[in-house]
Amino acid sequence: MNFPVEYFRGIDTPFYYYDVELLERTIATVKAEAERYGNFDVHYAIKANFNPRLLKIMADAGLGADCVSGGEIQASLDAGFPGDRIVYAGVGKSDWEIELGLRAGIRYFNVESVAELEVINEIAAEMDLMACVSFRINPDVGAHTHANITTGLAENKFGIAMDQMETVIRKAQEMTHTTFVGLHFHIGSQILEMDDFIALAHRINKLQDRLEAQGIGPIQHINVGGGLGIDYAQPNENPIPNFKAYFEAYEKYLKLRPGQELHFELGRAIVGQCGSLITKCLYVKQTEHKQFVIVDAGMTDLIRPALYNAKHCIENLVSKEETQTYDVVGPICESSDVFAYDCQLPATKRGDLLAIRSAGAYGQSKLEAEKGILAKRPQTSAFLCCVLLSFDLFIHKQPVVDNRMVE
């Protein structure tokens, strides 16, 4: 990725920079690969990044929107996604969020429990509307990814257990204001091994056979979630994920019924590589054992390394000197405020601009989400108050920049 360094010098750091051209090429690749099959429908997972400019690009490209909150539904509508291109998932849907989805005429709710189904039916009845529902089934399929983002095991909080599947579907069919339209699955995030998706396909095949044996069907669609990962280690070499292999795995191994649609919820794979967090070196600190590059961005701006020990490629955009070894750390009073250990960078000095790459997904979105939560609960702890101050500085110091703003 080519960065407009001279343009950056006039902007207060830290800030997020998005390569819109790369995003558009990624979307074009997704669409081209999905359209090879006719019945594949891709929704963008809004939680990955709900920057309004990026959402408008997704909406204009004709992608659907996968939402997990009322705020995301509203952001999708504001960006131009039609209501019937929006699906709503999540384990904890509030009444007002369900009402918003019904008023907007969203395509369907991905329902995670009997209790949720009953509430949706009740609210739909009060509004004199019909709610289309798809059931998220927990397939008890593991994924080769971080434990915190594995979502398809029996012990996870997500979905309805397989042995309850028929009972829940029949309950929905008996209700007056719900229509059963599909099954939903999601086994995890940042998955790079196609075998994990193939295992899910085999499990879905068995579940569909079982439902048909019970006289349940036809099912309009199967939603396999998302989960496809990106190359955090080599973003320049692999800027666009292998969508071809991803879609081919499902085409080959998932036995769809005639007329059945296959839905996807891709987030990180679409937006992850187009974003970078731009930060400035405040100090270089030498200790007996370590050399630190202290930057003005912190875990409050990109929390993935602190949460998951996630590794991001970091580039010095200014220095051409010999390589040295640094720990790249932020200014927050937490020992976990570290972006990289033993990072190889050209000799770095105060004022150098650094790019933390592959930050387009779960970077700005987590910052904005946490800012909203903390604003409601500013007295939770001294640490959270400290974080809130950092958020306010970020928001006021620097908006988002994309490469179309650079002339």
| Dist. CA 235–CA 233, nearest whole Å | 6
Work out the average pLDDT over 143-166: 59
CA-wise closest residue to 249 among 315, 324, 198: 198
Residue-level pLDDT at 283:
98
Residues 1-19+273-407: name the CATH superfamily. Lyase, Ornithine Decarboxylase; Chain A, domain 1 (2.40.37.10)
Residue-level pLDDT at 67:
97
The pLDDT tens digits of the residues spanning 339-363 come to: 999 999 999 999 999 999 999 999 9
pLDDT at 303 over 90: yes
- Provide the residue ranges of all domains of the chain, joining segments of one domain with +: 1-19+273-407, 36-266
Q: Does domain 36-266 have CATH number 3.40.50.300?
A: no
pLDDT at 146 over 80: no
pLDDT at 132 over 80: yes
Residue-level pLDDT at 125:
98
Strand 291-295 to 323-329 pairing: parallel
- Name the 3-class secondary structure at 338: strand
Work out the average pLDDT over 84-103: 96
Percent of the chain topping pLDDT 90: 76
Lowest-confidence segment of 147-161, 166-180, 369-383 by average pLDDT: 369-383
CA-wise closest residue to 135 among 106, 164, 92, 101: 164
Both structure tokens of 99 = 């009402």
Beta-carbon contacts of 42 under 8 Å, excluding residues fewer than 6 positions away, are: 30, 31, 34, 63, 64, 263, 264, 266
Contact call for residues 269 and 226 (beta carbons, < 8 A)? yes
Work out the average pLDDT over 57-74: 97
At 199, phi and psi to the nearest 5?
A: -60, -40
Work out the average pLDDT over 259-286: 97
pLDDT band at 159 (very low <50, low <70, confident <90, very high): low
pLDDT at 381 over 60: no
pLDDT band at 11 (very low <50, low <70, confident <90, very high): very high
Residue-level pLDDT at 37:
96
pLDDT at 401 over 90: no
With the C-alpha atoms ordered 89, 91, 92, 95, is the resulting torsion angle positive or negative? positive
Length of the chain: 407
Across-strand partners of 284?
A: 293
| 293-313 residues labelled b (16+ CB within 10 A) or e (exposed) | bbbbbbbbbbbbbbebebebb
- Name the 3-class secondary structure at 135: strand
Work out the average pLDDT over 254-264: 97
Percent of the chain topping pLDDT 70: 84
pLDDT at 177 over 70: yes
Confidence (pTM): 0.87
pLDDT band at 157 (very low <50, low <70, confident <90, very high): low
pLDDT at 389 over 50: no
The pLDDT tens digits of the residues spanning 199-257 come to: 999 999 999 999 999 999 889 999 999 899 999 999 999 999 999 999 999 999 999 99
Residue-level pLDDT at 353:
98
